[in-house]
Amino acid sequence: MRTKKIIFLIGLLQLSILIIAQQKKDPKHVVLISVDGFRPEFYLEEKWPVPNLKMMVKQGVSARGVRGIFPSVTYPSHTTLITGAFPKDHGIYYNSPFEETGQTGRWYWENSLIKTKTLWTAVREANQTTASFLWPVTVGATIDFNIPEYWSLESNYGSIKPMRDNENPKGFLNEMEIEVLGKLNDRTFNGDYLNREDRIGEMAAYTLEKYKPNFMSIHLFAVDHFQHEQGREGEKVHTSIAAVDRAIGKILEASKRAGLEDSTTIIVTGDHGFVDIHSALNPNIWLVEEGLLEDKKERNNWKAIFHTSGASAFLMVKDKNDKKTIDAIYKKLNNLPANVKKLFKIVSRQQLDIIGADPNAVLALNPIPGISMSGNTSGNLITPKKGGMHGYYPDFQQIETGFVAFGSDVNKGIVIEKMGLEDIAPIVSSILNLNFTALEGVLYPGIIKESK
């Protein structure tokens, strides 16, 4: 009897030691980097100057393509990344919300507008820490170290003061200026130049090394800016993706300096691809012709309007029960000449439901590649336009974004043919062991290493 008791006590002691050892394990860290306008070609083709990304592909997991959401624009896409939900559920339908009395220029800035649970919230609930840099829809978010993306509609407000006014904790930006950045101003932190990518990388690297947050989200956007300006193959696109790779390198080095290399996973993804364009189509002209919209900037007497978001246009009807107006618009679209109808496809309400788009839109117009929708209410129906654009229905290769994961918790040398933007949040949740369920996303089990 005494022998059995001793064996029981030894077993209990061994179990206690195991539990303590588990508790003392290094905490996990995930760095989620979104490269605005990120295309799989950047790491699949030799011509692009991204040595860090190509190393991560060889030693980690990558995808040949990531299907986005509709519209394939920045703010709803980033919210899908952080929630694993489609716009119809998370509530961020476009970059700019549709405003019945006229567009003021405001965007979906405030985190309170998100209707579903975010990874930041789940991390906080798990008593872990978060950091975020220039991520969309983060003003007022419960993020431990946060520099949100925001700009003021007031003139002469500058680009730095909005960050200071909405940072958390107060004085965080000033601390980074003293320690690593130097004084920020409109010259040293400017979207027209690549010094902004360097400084965002330095912000993230400093915070990872000093504060060691469990989850960090980072938004780098120079690649998007220069693809809009120059198209997919522009000279500045090559230099901007090189700047992004340099920023990623700063973060990789910081994880080593901080002793976190064996407990950190870095995920690099994006929000959409890009399409070169040559023309713009102005569908609101049709509504003016039908007497449903005035050719004025102000929206006083209107029954219907196309709200443009990137390349696509979403039909808003003032009275959703106004069947007469809706029927008139369908008739107008169906009776257009063939040489105009070939420039776009109608996305029905049923199709919008399937892809989880704005529940308030009656229909959407999705142009063919090379064409972008515009909100003009007068002038020529088709006008010249150049550069690059996104926002298309995400059913073709050029509009897809990319995915690369590298680090302590992911497998090596795995290539995924196709995944969805909503499938990335479950990866973060699994690595950090969060109480989080993605409404639309699926965890691909081959990405994450099996726990020993």
Give the span between the Cα atoms of 62 and 54, in whole angstroms. 10
Identify whether residues 128 and 262 lie together within a single domain.
Answer: yes
Assigned domain for 19 exists: no
- Contact status, residue 124 vs residue 439, Cβ threshold 8 Å: no
Identify whether residues 143 and 111 lie together within a single domain.
Answer: yes
Identify whether residues 350 and 218 lie together within a single domain.
Answer: no
Q: If you average pLDDT over residues 262-283, what whole number do you get?
A: 98
Identify whether residues 55 and 144 lie together within a single domain.
Answer: yes
The CATH number of whichever domain residue 133 belongs to comes to: 3.40.720.10
Q: What's the one-letter identity of residue 308?
A: T
3-class state of residue 356 by DSSP? coil
Question: Which residues, 6 or more positions from 305, have their beta carbon under 8 angstroms from its beta carbon?
Answer: 284, 287, 293, 299, 315, 316
* pLDDT over threshold 50, residue 275: yes
User: Where among 325, 356, 385 does a domain terminate?
Assistant: 385
Identify whether residues 56 and 155 lie together within a single domain.
Answer: yes
Q: What is the pTM of this model?
A: 0.93
Assigned domain for 76 exists: yes
Give the span between the Cα atoms of 277 and 332, in whole angstroms. 25
Assigned domain for 352 exists: yes
The CATH number of whichever domain residue 331 belongs to comes to: 3.30.1360
pLDDT value, residue 10: 44
Identify whether residues 362 and 423 lie together within a single domain.
Answer: no
Q: Hey, CA dihedral for 231, 233, 236, 240, is it positive or negative? A: positive
Assigned domain for 437 exists: no
* pLDDT over threshold 60, residue 197: yes
Nearest alpha carbon to residue 362 among 334, 323, 391, 311: 323
Identify whether residues 215 and 334 lie together within a single domain.
Answer: no
Question: pLDDT digit string (tens) for 358-406?
Answer: 999 999 999 999 999 999 999 999 999 999 999 999 999 999 999 999 9
Give the CA diameter of the chain: 97
The mean pLDDT of the chain is: 94
* pLDDT over threshold 70, residue 12: no
* pLDDT over threshold 50, residue 4: no
Domain that holds residue 105: 27-273+395-432
Identify whether residues 160 and 125 lie together within a single domain.
Answer: yes
Q: What percent of the chain has pLDDT over 90?
A: 90
Identify whether residues 308 and 427 lie together within a single domain.
Answer: no
Residue 322 burial (C-beta neighbours within 10 Å; 0-12, 13-18, 19+): middle
Identify whether residues 126 and 172 lie together within a single domain.
Answer: yes
- When divided into structural domains, the chain yields a total of 2
Identify whether residues 70 and 199 lie together within a single domain.
Answer: yes
Identify whether residues 218 and 367 lie together within a single domain.
Answer: no
**Distance from first CA to last CA of the chain, Å, rounded?**
36
Question: Which residues, 6 or more positions from 177, have their beta carbon under 8 angstroms from its beta carbon?
Answer: 183, 184
Assigned domain for 120 exists: yes
Give the span between the Cα atoms of 350 and 329, in whole angstroms. 17
